[in-house]
Amino acid sequence: MINKRLLIFGVTLALLMVVLQVAQYRFIIVGHSAELYAGIVALIFVVLGVVMGRKLTSPKEVIVEKLIPVAVNQSTPFTVNEQVLEKLNISKREHEILLLIAQGLSNQEIADKTFVSINTVKTHVSNLLLKLDAKRRAQAIQKARELSLVP
């Protein structure tokens, strides 16, 4: 993206130089010295430098996500919300993987525990992230807890 901007500014600068060169022969610099021409070119460079400096040093947008713990009532046993599972089209195996992720297990540990390959676990995790509209595992677990899919 920066290269595109530099290219646009470079082409604009070249066009301005051509215009100044034509103007030099016509009516602007015929009666004046080279200092006027150099001053105009310097002014153009200063303006372009300020514009490029502002664009390149502008602060980037920062997104901060905070996990909010969901209060769980310890007096009643946890029950899975089957309707949400069906609505999100989460299979039993994916739900099993989701429960293991909630326990804090790594992909390798989940693969060992469920007797599947690590690539299969990665596929299930990827599908869960899509279905729960999450970017990370922690975010998926938070949403799953809010939807009563995991304790």
Domain boundaries defined on the chain: 2-56, 82-146
Average pLDDT per 10 consecutive residues for the chain, totaling 151 residues: 77 84 65 72 88 78 70 66 79 86 86 87 87 85 83 78
Q: State residue 76's pLDDT score.
A: 67
Q: State residue 20's pLDDT score.
A: 76
Cβ neighbours of 142 (radius 10 Å):
21
Residue in the structure block whose two tokens are 């297990």: 105
CATH architecture of 82-146: Orthogonal Bundle (1.10)
Q: State residue 136's pLDDT score.
A: 86
Element spanning 115, H or E: none
**Cα-Cα end-to-end distance for the chain:** 45
Report how far apart, in Å, the C-alpha atoms of 32 and of each of 46, 77, 141 are: 22, 91, 74
Instruction: Say if CB 98 and CB 149 are below 8 A apart.
Output: yes
Q: State residue 112's pLDDT score.
A: 87
